[in-house]
Structure 1
């Protein structure tokens, strides 16, 4: 009689490998071919690209070069459909729910097959997404090394690059009071050891970026919090990161990801402007840029594209976590972006920047907890990739026809000459401006024409 452990568990047409020898040849998505571009597909055909044509050239670059799509490991391959009000709803045939290294390897094989069939060229992960923690830091790092070995092999096999990696400094109980801003120096040191290893992994895998997300860097009450001390400590941490990055020769871009709230009452990295102020205060702005997640932007009470536009305005936009949220929900729902208006607004900024490399559009998004079928994983990514392709085409047309850009420039015409030019150059004074108003009198009121701009924008959608 066959023992339970020796059986090959199956679900549908998928045969799940249970030993190392069968992993390399395993097929986890046998019913899915590489997703193709089919612009004439019917509305109900959602397993094809209707708009994303990777090789199509727009403004001198292919769609793939402009969009630089990345699949995130944590939502797509670790997400189980749980939310603050409900237990997990999603189980995958290749994941037995254990923390075994074999299960982690099987999961990674499935992930790379998925990304290859989807046609993306980048991925991203937290350290604890790909490998389980051990009984000590040394054991944990050994587990991580084993999965990094596999990642390196699979990246070469499938020609998929690492957009960025990061360290999970928020999930483990040791980080309940934060990591870089923790009041306990021992916890701070543990976070430093974890980030050191993360940077080593980034260098080894050729990561284009390394991200810091302060999941619990904030406060719940001011009664026991020394704000200045905590921010000073965080700045010192980042200075150590810069030093170690230089020491090991890691040439990836360092990114900080803002988030307004959840889980702390107030996050120190509230929004793009808060992060920029922090970086400039501590003379770190030359070493870091910002990874904007629009769902976090809306949690801060801003419009979807606000942080993207603000970061770009100061040459601080490094990458984009491409997701969205439901404004009526009030928490981080991490939905796939399907709103063409929103994707067009994002791509306006990316085109104006002449591209977002070495960053990209990372799908920090998850299928809804009710979307439990395997095909839903593909359909969600395909829909969002199509939405960004449409946004790119819209933005390119807007840029070419220049109706909005010309109208915006005309609005500031008064700063091109005379007293306006002196204001722009910073060469005037309060006294001179007072004399100017005395001579010229009351300024003429000018319409902001907001509805005009919205109407023009809608024309291109």
Structure 2
């Protein structure tokens, strides 16, 4: 029982979910919804009961795109009351620039100035909503920022429009005095044939061209990296190295599949362990945000099992990280490897070259020990 109590989520663990995650109704390209809509205020209540820290949202997850100003104010007022009643925070908001048909050829990279204007203004209103709810992170996923027909749009123009739009959005933050930063979310695949700025590395390079690069970072997602066969741990490490990990989306994914958004840690146990280890060892103090969906097979009760399982899994992996650092045999092997690397001879001739050529690094032994740790053998 004592062991199980370590895996009970608490607000200080900073676990968050999007309204669109637990609220996902199971619709996919080949089948309609299998669950009823869950009201945002109900989601707030249930996540609080499960021990979450906060909830996040796209603008239209909460306020319909066609809501009148009076309807918008009523919805927001009721939502804020639920947040207060259940002691939940809203650390991040984002904007939906991908669903409406107006964005079919891009939002911030649309060749049409009228569409770009509409997209930027919509994003500004989402920022205003986020500030009203207390959010300090604004995530921007460029889901429609891409192309199928390269003859139709010069990618240099698209990047210039992207840059101009982001500069205007950071100006909006600064002009209004919002304590808010922007986190760009890369995704190599879907829904366009080719996506602009598809990886963490390409986003980081682009950020350096912005007027206020210090206000813009990245929001890596596990599934997005794995869809393209990339290593999420390395993607996140690059963001940390550049001090640009402003937010993170946690889920799971099988390599080269469609965007599965599986429950965190449910598929790749070793990869998830190393990701949690990286976050914990680096001192990342932002939200642990679960951007995943319950299986389409589930009813409403299954939705809450999904949310509970996501948080418990993170806590279990975090416990494995603690045991990794305390395991005497693992640490002895690491020390032996590090000593070999640091105390081996300088390369100044054939004899020293051969010394390095003949050495084994004991990585098989280390990897097996980590595997045994994850399998509960240690």
TM tier, smaller: 0.7 to 0.9
**Higher Cα Rg, which structure:** 1
Give the structure 1 partner of residue 134 of structure 2: 206
Distance across 1 between alignment mates of 2:180 and 2:312: 28
The answer on 1:239 being equivalent to 2:162 is: no
Distance across 1 between alignment mates of 2:306 and 2:56: 17
C-alpha displacement at 1:251, in angstroms? 0.8
The answer on 1:296 being equivalent to 2:224 is: yes
Aligned counterpart for 1:119 among listed residues 42, 51, 70: 51
Give the structure 2 partner of residue 52 of structure 1: 7
Matches within 5 A, 1:398-437: 398-400=324-326, 403=331, 406=335, 409-410=338-339, 413=342
Q: Is the 8 A contact 1:270 1:300 kept in 2?
A: no
Q: Is the 8 A contact 2:187 2:199 kept in 1?
A: yes
For these two proteins, the number of residue pairs brought into alignment is: 368
C-alpha displacement at 1:443, in angstroms? 8.1
Aligned counterpart for 2:306 among listed residues 368, 372, 380: 380
Aligned counterpart for 1:444 among listed residues 328, 345, 356: 356
SS in structure 1 of the partner of residue 317 of structure 2: helix
Give the structure 2 partner of residue 393 of structure 1: 319
C-alpha displacement at 1:316, in angstroms? 1.9
Give the structure 2 partner of residue 356 of structure 1: 285
Matches within 5 A, 1:154-165: 154-165=82-93
C-alpha displacement at 1:124, in angstroms? 0.5
C-alpha displacement at 1:342, in angstroms? 3.5
Distance across 2 between alignment mates of 1:140 and 1:405: 61
TM-score by length of 2: 0.88
The answer on 1:458 being equivalent to 2:371 is: yes
The answer on 1:129 being equivalent to 2:129 is: no
Q: Deviations over 1:78-131 (max 9, x none)?
A: x22111222222225xx5xxxxxxxxxxx1221122112112111000011112
Q: Is the 8 A contact 1:71 1:364 kept in 2?
A: yes
Q: Deviations over 1:217-249 (max 9, x none)?
A: 112121212111111111111111211111111
Give the structure 1 partner of residue 32 of structure 2: 87
The answer on 1:275 being equivalent to 2:203 is: yes
Aligned counterpart for 1:367 among listed residues 294, 297, 303: 294
Could you say if the C-alpha distance between residues 243 and 399 of structure 1 is closer, same or farther in structure 2, counting changes exceeding 3 Å? farther
C-alpha displacement at 1:151, in angstroms? 1.9
Matches within 5 A, 1:185-196: 185-196=113-124
Distance across 1 between alignment mates of 2:282 and 2:130: 26
The answer on 1:335 being equivalent to 2:247 is: no
**Unmatched segments (≥5 aa) in structure 2:** none
Q: Deviations over 1:11-30 (max 9, x none)?
A: xxxxxxxxxxxxxxxxxxxx
SS in structure 1 of the partner of residue 111 of structure 2: coil
Matches within 5 A, 1:132-171: 132-134=64-66, 139=67, 142-171=70-99
Give the structure 2 partner of residue 261 of structure 1: 189
SS in structure 2 of the partner of residue 318 of structure 1: coil
C-alpha displacement at 1:197, in angstroms? 0.8
**Unmatched segments (≥5 aa) in structure 1:** 1-37, 41-48, 56-63, 96-106, 420-435
Matches within 5 A, 1:172-183: 172-183=100-111
Q: Is the 8 A contact 1:351 1:396 kept in 2?
A: no
Could you say if the C-alpha distance between residues 286 and 333 of structure 1 is closer, same or farther in structure 2, counting changes exceeding 3 Å? same
Q: Say what the alpha-carbon RMSD is for the aligned residues.
A: 2.8
Distance across 2 between alignment mates of 1:120 and 1:220: 40
Aligned counterpart for 2:16 among listed residues 70, 74, 83: 70
Matches within 5 A, 1:299-318: 299-318=227-246
Aligned counterpart for 2:275 among listed residues 308, 321, 346: 346
Could you say if the C-alpha distance between residues 250 and 179 of structure 1 is closer, same or farther in structure 2, counting changes exceeding 3 Å? same
Could you say if the C-alpha distance between residues 405 and 124 of structure 1 is closer, same or farther in structure 2, counting changes exceeding 3 Å? farther
SS in structure 2 of the partner of residue 444 of structure 1: helix
Q: Deviations over 1:362-387 (max 9, x none)?
A: 1211111111x221011111222111
C-alpha displacement at 1:396, in angstroms? 2.2
C-alpha displacement at 1:391, in angstroms? 0.8
